[in-house]
Structure 1
Amino acid sequence: MQKNNKARPYLSLHLIILIFGFTGILGRYIDTPPTALTIYRTGLTCVCLGAFMWLRGMSFRVGWRNVVLLLLSGGVIGVHWVLFFSAIKQANVSVTMAMLSTGALFASLLEPLFYHRRLRAHEVVFGLIVVAGIFIISGQNAEYHGGIVTALAASFVSACYSIINSKWFVRFPNDTVMISFYEMAGAVVVVAALFAPTEGFVQGLGQVNLKDALGILFLAVVCTSYTNVRMIQLFRYLSPFTVMLNINLEPVYAMLMAAALYPDERMSGAFYLGAAIILSVVVLNAWLNNLRERRKAKRLPTQTQERHGEG
């Protein structure tokens, strides 16, 4: 029974990662333009999370200043999703997900700017190796260059969002659903404000048939709202490192599903080599950072004891 209890959170985690990967499949399946798709996705998610909070009697209060900042944070993830869905339209699911896996490394390279720390040597080396992986992919898939650039932009924006969001989770560790609620509202507002002046924006909002509506509903309710709430629950049983390390499998699951569902998603050997290089570096970087944090945590009690001994 104990083994089953331990296995359940891992199975739930991988189900969530599978659902995350399926987001890319839906991005190809749904014909609604990326801006409209993002607005509908985030708007419906906001409604779902708001209903969940109301039914659970959770507080919506966070202060007006924080509300404004959370709305702006949501705008960042909104822009990420517009770029993400655009990349899928420009290239395909496999290329987009391979490029998106660079997000964790982008975050490592951006952290020194946000947290005023030195850039670590292994992060620079890993960054160069990832660039090599990208060149291997782009060199063999010239027709996808536009999609590769857009997907890398989406990955960069996602990394910025993850760093911003980490600060919110430190400030409000028990209010993660509330954070997501306001961020989804912010995504709707910011994406609408940024893209409303562009040609075809209003027409795009009306380009939703029954097939697209069902896809968007699944995307909002299952791929975003359910996974958000369930992921919070899983942190009670799994360490953040375990969760983040396993989430690196999202591009793998997405590429496997894409290849199974769409014959044109079966890429060349060079593509999979480049993708494997990128994924390996991302996983190794996560492992090294975790090892460094564990060693740092072990040193702290020793240093504290030494100070007390000196006193």
Structure 2
Amino acid sequence: MDYYICRHFRKIMRFSATVKLQLIVFLWGFTGVIGKLINLNAVPLVWGRILIAELFIFIYICFYTKESLLISKRLMLQLLGTGTIIGTHWILFYGAIKISNISIATATLSTGTLFAAFLEPIIFRRKLKITEILLSIIIIICIGLIFKTEVKYWKGIIMGITCAFLSALFSVINGYMSNKGASSVITFYELLGGFVILNFFMFFEKNWMAIANIERIDILWILVLGSLLTSFPMIATMNLMKYITPFTVMLSVNMEPIYSILIAFIIWKDTEAMSSVFYISTTVMIIAICINGYLKTKNKKLSI
């Protein structure tokens, strides 16, 4: 009797975690929207986002998890270096939004799976799978169609693809680093690395005046972006991983571009309306990515 109660309880917890994850991904869909609303360039915008997120995670560690922030110098340097990748990734993401639109930036971000398919075998020293090659061909064709029909946004497309490469590189390296300490501590140092590289960008591009003259409404949006849309989802996702599989997380995260595109279209129909080829190509990419994720998980289960 106790066994069936525990089993039923686990099912309820998994269902609850899946619903919460969808809400988190839906929140992530607003990151591009908020970025477009903020009247700052990409560099000061990301500088503010990381600063707020880092402060919230620091408070979370100090007052909730109470984990030690003391780690080895080698691990610290590795995490700081990894953080520079995510910091640069966010600059390119918001840069793509500023010079094109949210639809282009989020659609091209889906190509991160293409880069991950080639980066994982290199870092984890495994063979490239046929399904990953087929996925890569599908994504390349879809991006080619988007580029052809939306050529006026070519700068945003290139910036978005570069952003996706850094996202994939960060994810693969992060997967390698994830077992080297507590998730919240790893995230803290990675964000710190992102904040350090942002300060260099701020210095060389002389963006400090933009921060000094920031409008009150932009301060509010950055607070929302750094807390509700960055630190909170990162911490919440860590906790949800106790009840759901990485595949469920991956499958859910692939909904982010769809949410972003729909939200942006509702708010800015004139500037976010794209060609039918764009929407078809984006949908095909996301479906292909989900199928690839499903096949990967199925193969892992069969090999156990």
TM-score (norm 1): 0.90
Deviations 1:266-300 (A, max 9, x none): 22211101111211121111112112222222xxx
- Give CA-to-partner distance per residue, 1:119-159, whole Å, 9 cap, x none: 11221222111111011112111111100000000000000
Aligned mates of 2:258, 2:49 — CA distance in 1: 24
What's the offset of the Cα at 1:4?
5.6
**Shift of residue 50 of structure 1?**
0.6
- Give yes or no for contact 1:105–1:285 (8 Å, CA) kept in 2: no
Name the CA distance, whole Å, in 1 between partners of 2:162 and 2:231: 25
- Per-residue CA distance 1:189-240 (angstroms, 9 max, x = gap): 0122245223x43333334211111111001111111101110111111111
CA distance in 2: counterparts of 1:179 and 1:126, whole angstroms: 31
| 2:140 aligned with 1:131 | yes
**2:171 aligned to 140, 162, 170, which one?**
162
- The answer to whether the 8 Å contact 1:72/1:190 transfers is no
Provide the rounded CA distance (Å) in 2 between the counterparts of 1:203 and 1:98: 32
- Map 1:15-54 to 2 at 5 A: 15-54=23-62
Q: Identity of paired residues, percent?
A: 30
Q: Which moved more, 1:42-51 or 1:79-88?
A: 42-51
Cα distance, 1:58 vs. partner? Answer: 1.8
SS at match of 1:196: helix
Q: Which ranges in structure 2 are unaligned for 5 or more consecutive residues? A: 1-7
Query: Who is 1:71 aligned against?
Result: 80
Superposed, which structure 2 residues align to 1:194-233 within 5 Å?
A: 194-198=201-205, 200-233=206-239
Q: Does the alignment pair 1:283 with 2:297?
A: no
CA distance in 1, matches of 2:202, 2:136: 32
What is the count of residue pairs matched by the alignment? 294
Alignment of 1:70-149 (within 5 A): 70-149=79-158
- Higher mean alpha-carbon deviation, 282-291 vs 189-198, is at 189-198
Residue 294 (str. 1) matches residue 301 (str. 2): yes
- Unaligned 5+ residue runs, structure 1? 298-311
The one-letter code of the counterpart of 1:16 is I
Tell me, in whole angstroms, the C-alpha distance in 2 between the residues paired with 1:14 and 1:123: 26
Structure 1 contact 32–207 (Cα < 8 Å) conserved: no
- 2:249 pairs with one of 240, 243, 251: 243
Is residue 102–residue 282 contact of structure 1 (8 Å, CA) maintained in 2?
Answer: no
Please, what TM-score do these two structures have when normalized by structure 2?
A: 0.92
State the match for 1:300 in structure 2: none
Q: 2:184 is matched with which residue: 177, 184, 190? A: 177
8 Å contact from structure 2 (residues 14, 244) kept in 1 = no
DSSP 3-state at the match of 2:67: coil
Contact 1:83 1:150 in 2 (8 A): yes
Distance 1:81 1:207, change over 3 A: farther
Tell me, yes or no, if the aligned pair for 2:13 and 2:243 is still in contact at 8 Å: no
| Cα distance, 1:192–1:233 mapped onto 2, change above 3 Å | same
Q: CA deviation at 1:113?
A: 1.2
The letter of the residue matching 2:198 is V
